[in-house]
Structure 1
Amino acid sequence: MNKSYLRSRLFLNYALSYLLVLLVPLLLFAGTISQSASSNLRSEVERAHFNQLTQARNTVDSRMRDLLTIASRISYDTRLSSYLMHDPYFSSEGIKALDQYKATSEMIGELFLFFRGYDRIYSSLGMSELSVFYNGYAFRNWDPAQIEDELNQVQFPTLRPADLVRRKIGLEQSMLAYMVPITPNNPNPHATVMYLIEESQFNGLISSILGSYQGLTYVFDDKGQVLTSTQRGESLSKTDVDSLFRQPEGIHSLELNKTTHSVVSVKSEQNGWTYVTAMPSNQFFSSVVKLRSIMILILGTIAAAGAGLALLLARRLYGPIWELAAFASSQNKGPGAAAKEPDELGRIRSVLQHSSQMADLQEPYARNHFLLMLLKNSGPGILSPELLRALHMSFDRERYAVLVFGWEDEQLVDPAVYAGLQELNIPEAGAIVYGVELPEPRRMAFIVGFTVNPDSNGNDSLQATLNEVQRLSEGAGLSNPSIGVGRLYESPLQLSQSYIEALSAYESRHILGPVTVSRFDAISESREKANWLPTGLLLKLAQALKQGSYEVAAPTITECLSFIRAGGASLPLARAMYFDVLNTMLKSASELGVLTSDIPSPSSFHSMKVLEEPLLTLAYRICSEAESRAQTEERSLLDRALAYIHAHYADHSLSLESVADEHSISPSYFSRSFKEKTGQNFTPYVWQLRVEEVKRLLDETNDPIKDIIPRVGYLDAPNFIRKFKKETGLTPGQYRKRGQGGGAEAD
C-alpha cells in the first residue's frame, strides 16, 4: 500500500465508507440469523423427528401385521388343529411347527397356542400345564387366573402393557404379551395365540429408527394405557403422562416437570396406538451454540476478507482521483489557488473552474465541430445530454432537415456574419436553426428543427425557414447564393442522411438549371416496387417440413413460386424472394438435423418452372428424413420403456401409468404401442416377468416363499399362489419340491 495514500484523509474516508457498507449489512444479517437460528433449527429437528417417529410407527405396524399373519397361518395349519394337538403322537409335529413359526419373526420371545376350555397350553418348547404361568413365566402384575380368563375370552388382538416376568432361572425380564384370537374374524374363536415380546426388543426397534434421540418415548394403547416407555433418566408424573396421550397428532410444546418440552405425537390407524416422544427444549441450544460458533468463524473470515477488499477498492477508486489531484497540482501555475486547497477534490475543483473559463472561450469552435460531426456521423452516443447542456443546445423538435448554403463569389465575409448565422430562432416557422461552417470554402450548412403544425406535413415551416435564410444572406451582401435542401426526418440521428441529400441537391443545381433552391425530393429517381412473400406462407412451409408432411409442403412451395411469378418482380428481386423460400427450407432442415447436399444451384435460376422441381425434390427428402427420424425415436422410446420395466418389475407400484409418465407418453398411446411391439398387454407381461423370477428363486435359493413373493413386487401372497398354481399346475412349494427332489416347503 502506498504510504502517501494512507496520509490522505480522502482515501481513509473512502476505505471507512466501504468498510461500513460491508459491515453494517453483515452485522444485520448476523443478528437476524442468530435470532432465527434457534427456532429454525428446532423446527427442522422436530420435523425430521416427526418423520422418524412416523417411520417407527409404520415399522411397528408392519411387524404387528406379521404377527397377525403368523397367527392366521397357525389357525389354518392342519398340524396345529385341536384334534391332532391333543393326540400325544401328533402333538410333537405341532410343537415343531410352533418353533418354526417362532423363528420367522425376531420379535417373538416365546409363542403359545391355547385351545379354549383346555387345561393345557402349547409352546415352541412343548406342552405345559397352565401352572407354567406360576413358575416358568410368572408375571408380576398379571396373575395366572387372569391369564387363563383372558386366553379364554379375548375377542380381538390385544397387547398388554410391559410387565416384569420371572423365569425359572430367577431373573426378571420386562415383556409384552400380545394375544390374537383364532380363527381370525371369527365371532367364536376356538383358540388364542399369545406372543411374548421382550420390551427391549420392541423399544430397540423404535430406537434404531429414532437414532441418537435422547428424550422420552411412550407407546399408548387406544385407551391411554402405557404399553411401553423409554425414560432415559427422566420420569414423569401420571398427570404429565396423561397429558402426553391427549396431545393430537403433530408437533407441540408442552410443560412437563416444570420444563418446556418438544413433544411429537403420531397415531396408528391400524391398531389405535399412539407414539409420543418428549425432549427438553434446551437440548436444542447445544446445536445452536455450535451453529453460532460456525457463523462467527464464517462472519469473521468474511469481515477480514471484506476489510482487505474494501482497502483494495478504496485504493482502486482513489487512484484516478489521486492522479487528477497530482495533475491539478502540476497545473497550479494557471489557477494559482490550486496548491492552496486543503484536499485533492479542492485542487481538482480549482483546476476545473479554470478549465471551464477556458472552455467558454472555445465554445463556438466546439459547437461547430460538434455539429459537423453530427452531420457526418449521427451515432446515438453523440447526442449525450451532458454534451448538449455544455454546448447550450437541444434537439427536441418533431422534424429535422439540413440545408446546404453556398455562394460563388470569392469575396471575404465578415466573421460577424458567420456568428450571426450560428443560431437562429424563427418564431413564425416554430423553428430553431443551427449554422455550421463547412470545411469547403463559401459553404455553410443549417440544421433545421421545428414543430409540425397538425394541418401541415412540415413543408410550410421548412419554406419559411428557407425564406429567412435567404433574407439574412441578402442582408449580409452575399450574392448569387444557392441552397440544397434534404428531406425531412423524425430524428436528429437521421441528420447525416438529410445532409447527404442536401449535398446531392446542392450539386444537382447544374442539372436543374439556374435555380436558387433545389430540393432532393425533386430529383427524379426510379424505384422498383414489388411485394414480398407473405410471412404466413413461409411459416406454413417450415411447419410442414418439420412435421414430415410432403403433402402440405409441396403445394405450399408451388403457391410461393406462383406468388413470385404473379408479382411481376424483376429478376434480381424474384431471385431474392426465391432464396427466401430456399433459406426457409434449409433452416427447417438444420433444425431437424437433416444434412442437405443437393441444394438447387443459383445458376439454374432461369424460370420458376425449372426451380420448382429441385425445391420439391429437396422438400421430399427433408420430409422423408423427418418421418424416418420420428419412427426411429418412437422405436427407441419403446425400447427404453421395456428396459425400464425389466429393471423395475419387482416394484409393487409399477403400473402402465407410471411407466408412461416416466417416459412422458400418453398411457393410451403407450398401451397400444406396447402391445404392437410385444404382442401382450402390459399386466400379463409384467406378471410373466414376476413368475419367471419366482421360479428362478425357487430353483436357486432356499429362501422362504413368504419372502420371495414380496421380493418380486407382489404383496398379496395368497392370490399370487393361487394364480401361480393356475398357470403352472403347482403351488410354489410343489414347484420347489419337484426341482429339488424333496423337502417341500409349506405354502
Structure 2
Amino acid sequence: MNHNYLKSKLFLKFTGSYLLILLIPLVLVIVFIYRNATDNLQKEIENSHFNQLTQIKTVVDGRMDDLRDMASRMSYDDRLAHYRILDPYESRDAIAALNSYKSSNSIVENIFLYYHHDPNIYSNHGMYSLDVFRSSFQFGSWKNDELVTALNTSKFPSIRLTNMLNQNSSLEQNVLTYILPIIPNSSDPYGSVMYLIKEKELAHLIDSVLGNYRGLTYIFDNHGRVLSYSGHGDTASQQDIQQLSELPPGIHSLPINNEEHSVISVTSDINGWSYVTLMASNQFFSSVLNVRSFIIILFIVIAIVGTAIALLFARMQYLPIAELVRFTNKKTDTPASGNELEYIRTTLQQYSSKIDLQEPYARNHVLSMLLKHGYAQMMTPEIFDTFHLHFDQSHHFVMMMGWDDLEQQHLQARQEVHRKLAYLEFPALAAQVYGVELPQLDQLALIVSLQLEDDETLAAQIVHIVDAIREYTLGMIDIHPMIGVGKCYESTQQLNQSFIEACSAFELRKSTEHGTTVYFEKLSSTHDQTVLLPSSELLKLAQSLKQGNFEVAKQIILTAIHGLENKQRSTLLMRCVLFDLLNIMLKAAVELQMDNMLQYAPPHFMNGPVNLIEQNFCRLAAQICTQVEQTHKKEEHSLMDHIVAFIDQHYVDHSLSLESVSAAFTISPSHLSRSFKDKVGINFVQYIWQKRLDKVKEQLVITSDPLKDIIQRVGYLDTPNFIRKFKKETGYTPGQYRQMNSNHPNTEPNDTV
C-alpha cells in the first residue's frame, strides 16, 4: 500500500512536534538576542543622552554664570553709574557699555538696567521712561506693573518664561526674563539687571549639543516651571510635565501620552534647574534595523533547515507505525482512518480480546497434540512459553478422569472443575497439573509433572497426587470420579504412551465398579498365564487402535515381536503370541465396526521372516488407524453440520453460548470451538454475530419496527453495544443504514435507545 505521509495527521503531528521542539528554543533565543541588542543599544543611547544632557547643563550653567558675572561687573562699571547715566552727554557711553555687555553673550537678546525708584529704565538700545517701557513691551500674563515691582524689590536672582510682544516688531515670542539684583548677593541692592533671553536661542543651544536627537527636551527651574522646550513630536500633558519636573536625576522609564518613554533627568547643583529628555522606547527597536534584518534572515534559514530535519525525523519515527498500519490492514477488513495510533490500539485491543477468548482453546489444542504425539518437534519451547506450560520436572504421567451421566445441575460444576484444573499446583508434593479437555463432555485428561528425588518413593508419590486431585474435585462436584492412571515416564516424548495407558485403565475401570482408581502400572505387573503377552499391553494396543494412534500401536507391536525373538521362543509359542496380537487387533476393528479388516490379514499373514511379519502387523495397524481417523472426520463433519443447523435455528436465543451448545451435543467446549472453526472458517462467536447482524439488516430494510425491538428479537440484549459494533462493521449506524436502504421513504434515522 502506497502511503502518502503528508495526508497522515499523525505524521503531520510528529512534524509539528519536532518543529515546536526546534522553533520554540529558536524563537526564545532570537527574542533574547534581539532584546539584548535593543537593551544594550538603549543603554548606549541613554548613556549618550545622559552625557549630552550633562553637557547641556554645563553649557547653560556656564552661560548663566556669565550673566551673573556680567551683572557683577556692571555694578562696578563707572560708565553705568547712576549719575553718569542721568548725564545727557555721558549716557551714550552707558548705552555703549550695555551694548558691549549684550554682545559678549550670544543668548541675550536685550539688557535692561534699572535703578530703584527711577522713572526711567535703560537698555542697550537707549533709555525708556517707565510709561514708554510699559507701552512698548508687553510681557503676556506678567503685567508691567508686576514687572516694575519685581525690578524694585528683587533681592535674589529670578527667572521667568513669558510671551513678549514688542510694538516695534509686532511679533510675539517666548522669552526668558532673568532679573539679577545689583550689587549681586547684597542684602540691600540699589538696582536690577534684566536679561531678555529668547527661548528659541536656548532651544538652539540644546539642539546643537543633542544633534539629531528625536525626542523632547525640557528645562525646569527650581520651582518646576518650564523654562525651555525643544524637540520633535507631541508635547507632554500638563500632568506629565509636572511628573517630569519632580523626577530625581537618573534614567527612568515612564508612560507619556500612553506610550512608554525613556526619560533622562539631570539637576544643576548651581541653580537647581532640571534638564529632562524623553524618547519613545520603540525608537530603540527601530534603531536596530540591521540586527533585526540579520535575525530575520537567520530565523528563515534555520526554520527551512529545521523543517527539512523535522520532516526527516518525523518520517523516521512514522515509518514503523506505517508498517504496523500496513500489517494491520492486511489482518482486518476495516481500513485505517483517523489517528493511526488509535487505529493500531483499537485493532490490538480487538486482537487481544480475540486472543484472550481463544487462548484457552489454543492451549488445550497444544496439550491435546502433546497427548497424541508426545513432545513432537513442531512443539517448540516458544509455544509452551506462550501458554505458560513448563515441563522441566523430572517425571511425567497422564491420568484420565470422568463421570457417568452427570445430571443437569452438575454441568455448571463440571465446567468449574475444568476451569480450575486447567492449571493446578501442589507444592507439598512438588507436582504441577495441566488439565486437557477431551471431545467427550464428561471426561478430562490431566498431565502431571512431578519432581522426584528418590525412585523408591515414585509409586507412593503418584498415589498421593492422584488422591489430592480426587479430593480437590470432590470439593467442587460431590460425585466420585472414575480415574485411570498411566505409567510415569522421565521424558515428555512418552506422554502419548502414558495417555494411552491412562485411557486403557479408564476403559477397564468403566467396566467394573464406579468411583475408584485404576493404575495401569498395577495392571502390567499381573500376568495372564494363558498368554505370553501381558494383558495390559494387549489392552493398551486395543486402546491405541481405537484412538487411531498408530505411533503407540506400532511401538507396542514391535516391542512384542522383538521380545519374542530375543527370548528365542518356539515357533508354536510365537504363533500363539502373534495370534493374540492379531485377535486383539481384529477385535478392536470389529468394535469399531470395521468388518473388512480380515482382507488385510490373509493366510500367509504370519509366515515369513520376522521383519516381514512386523511389516504385516504394522500395515494392518496403520489401516485400522487410518479408517479410525477417517471415521472420526466423517462423524466430526456430520456433527458440525448438525451443530451449524442447530445454531441457524436457535441463534435468536440470547442464552445461546459455546457452553450451552457443547452441553446439548455432549462434547467439550474446547473441542467444539476448534472443530467449528475448522468446519465454518470463523469462530463460534463471530458466526452467531454475523447471523444476528444479517437478520437486523433484513429487518431494518423490510420493517419500520423500533430498533430496540429488532435487536432484541435477534437475541442481542445489549442494544448500545450492538449499535457500536454495527457501525464498526458497516460504517453506518442502524438508523442511517435503514434510511439508505429502507422501503419506507419517510423513515428518519433514529439510533436513540
Q: What interval of TM-score do these two structures reach, taking the shorter chain for normalisation?
A: 0.3 to 0.5
| Greater radius of gyration (CA) | 2
Q: What is the TM-score when the length of structure 2 is the normalising length?
A: 0.36
Q: What is the TM-score when the length of structure 1 is the normalising length?
A: 0.36
**Of the two structures, which has the highest relative contact order with CA contacts closer than 8 Å and spacing of 6 or more?**
2
